[in-house]
A = this chain, B = another copy of it.
Amino acid sequence: MRADAQRNRDRIVEVARAVFRQKGYDAPLDEIAREAGVGPGTLYRHFPTKDALIDAVMQAWVDSVETATDKALAHEGSARDLLLNWFETYVGVISAHKGGPAKLTTAIGVQDSPIRSKCAVLVSANERVLAQLAEQGALKPDVDAVQVARLVGGVATVADQSELAPDVVRPMLEVVADGVLA
């Protein structure tokens, strides 16, 4: 790839991340192109659809999911505390950008989603946490990671779109936690 093309690509992703953080995934692409100093055609040369750009912006974010999971797994306290702490972490992670919870949660289990790989990361993060709890026999049988990702993702989606305060979200997560714990 030519040096100027590489630079343009990098700038687009960088600007997109900032704009998405501020305005969510609804932000117009024109604005991103303008702030990155390129024409809309250039943006589309690098990212054939808006979802492709969103996917690129999410790329770096994958690492943050892994480290957040590690931290949650090291949490001391009861199984319930660990799980609740994980749920709050999970909601925080997928809510980094407005519109993120819906986009990510809805794509779980969908075969041809452009952000399929990001969903896999989320599901496997939940798998790790659930596996640890299952080991202690703290979990109900039949709960699986996809299900939990959808449940907590559903809560995050509602919270994101209704702009709910954390102290309203928290008790909802407690309900889900109590529902999956033995």
A residues adjacent to B (C-beta < 8 A): 102, 105-110, 140, 142-143, 147, 150-151, 153-155, 157-158, 161-162, 164, 168, 171-172, 174-180
Provided the pairs A106-B161, A108-B162 are in contact, do residues A150 and B176 lie with their beta carbons within 8 angstroms? no
- The 6 A-B residue pairs whose C-beta atoms are closest, nearest first, are A154-B154, A179-B179, A175-B179, A106-B161, A178-B179, A154-B158
Could you jot down 8 A-B contacts, CB within 8 Å?
A143-B175, A147-B171, A150-B158, A151-B172, A153-B158, A175-B176, A175-B179, A178-B179
Roughly how many angstroms separate A178 CA and B177 CA in the complex, as a whole number?
A: 10
| Residues on B with beta carbons closer than 8 Å to the beta carbon of A157 | 102, 154, 157-158
